[in-house]
Structure 1
Amino acid sequence: MAAKLSATVATGLCAVLLASCAGTKLENIRGMDVQGGAFNSALYQGYVERSEHEYEYGDYDSSDLFARRAQRAAAGERVQPLQLDGEGDRVVEGAREMQSKMPAIREARADLVSVLGRSARTKAPEAAAKAQVAFDCWVEETQADHIQDCRTRFNKALQTARNAVEPAQAQQTTETAPAAPEQPESPEPESYTVYFGFDSAQLSSDAREVLSQVAEAAEDRPDAQISVTGFTDTVGPEDYNQNLSFRRAQAVKQALSGRGIEADRISTAARGENQLAVETADGVREQRNRRVEIQLF
């Protein structure tokens, strides 16, 4: 089938064939309202463009990968740069197939995470977002000319972001006393949300993907504490929902512990049907209220 077949038609064909198709997520992420400020807005737009690019080239798996990341950015989540071991959205085929680029990529990711951790998201949001999108492009690509293009854009954007968080030091004269050492800024809190099925504490595949992102962030910030808070919608008795929200929080904590995060870094709380994300009447099913909120601080 032609690579430029529209996502809408592809989605329809998937439905007709009763099969799961790659390349169908792009159509659902265009024109989303973005939460999380200028960095998330720029990151969302960059991931949408990457998803469109991969779709045009017929790489529907990569198109879906970037579409999912765009959706998370639009939801206000702190999306981390792609990991190289496939623990996140999926195994990165480019990184597996082209071992020669791995050392440079590992060093680049460490530089990017360092710059992002020094408030580049707020001091240079567009450059920081361009650097992250270009890095993910570099990891994902397998064609040499495309890899070089992504790498060039990454280096340029990263330098712009680095300049914003590492201003050139003024030359000191013999008459000027040395300035007091700059105090490092406290890292910004990072928030994530996973959603649950009705009357369920089972983690979906989408939830597990988000938890992989949390694990990546926790690895990058080994001193950060993690709070996990469970919620429900308004269907059912309050005491039942209180217990259900606790079970959801525990399921998330266990999943994070299984990804190597120390249990003593994770605190849990249960709110039941209190503090709804979407206000509803009693007895209303609402998926956005069936959630666990996770924060690194």
Structure 2
Amino acid sequence: MTKHTTAFTVAALSLALAAGLAQAASLAPQQARITDEAIYRDHSTYQATQDRIQALNDAGRPVRDYALSKAQCWLDVSFHEYTRNDRSDFPQAALDESEKLIVAMEQGVSPIPTDTPLVNGAARLREDLWKRLGAMHGTPGFACAQQAVACGEVELVHAGNEFNQQQWRHSKPYIQIAEDMVADAEAMARTCDTGQGAPAGPMQLTANVLFEFDRRGLADVREHSLGTVDRAIERVREEGRTITAVRLVGHADRMQGRGFDYNQTLSRDRAETVKAYLVGQGIDPALVSYEYRGDTEQVQSCEGVRDRAVLHECLLPNRRVEVRFQVSK
């Protein structure tokens, strides 16, 4: 067993002990949340938990700290769903995660594990976003991005819980929040001044252009997803960087009504559409290359969705062109 593993194990055991002690932040049973008295007690529980987070901050733990941020975001999503009359176990489970972190910080546990449990059986949506968030852990830029990383992870769990309860239409707003947090975290990591100088080598920005079902033209692109490309280009300019290459990767969803080869062609045509858009935005065509992968790399499975229109909407993140900007200082 390595020194690092031993330290992590000790921290995990300490956190488990802390979790066992964390029993104060308990909400009224679901069936009891119908009286003013029960709701008042629950609001008092939320306020007491918020006060503990504030006390940790007052004692010197910065707001941007990963564990403090994550405790706050778990508390926020718990309260959000409580006020929406969520009768599932999610509000209590999210509150428990907040309190586990609070107790660990109060007891000086170090390091605090960074796992993000899928509470209440939340679906694990958007593996691509999970990977992008995970890639920032342990990097120098994480020092600046940790708040956005922590909250992005919590919002993905929030989205997965909503997907289980009310399917894609209700999870979609929280996925979009998570997407914005991922982009913000990556931007903060790139521009982070850690005192070690600028990161060596090229850096990457990622945006996804999303297409309507079985469509490939520019008029068939979801407008908000083109906005992510425009914001990425603007960020490059704001950061004083230069785009040195753009790699496009076209995809299709898993619906194979016309076969594998059709989806391959569809993903290629989508990549070509996005290339034309970038050239129209002033990107040198010589910098842009593309590949296409058909339906071989799904980021959202939508298992259990039966209604065809709802399924098409749920599979939207798979009908994408990944736009990977390579930038340098």
TM-score range, shorter chain: 0.3 to 0.5
Structure richer in helix, relative to its length: 2
TM-score (norm 2): 0.40
TM-score (norm 1): 0.43
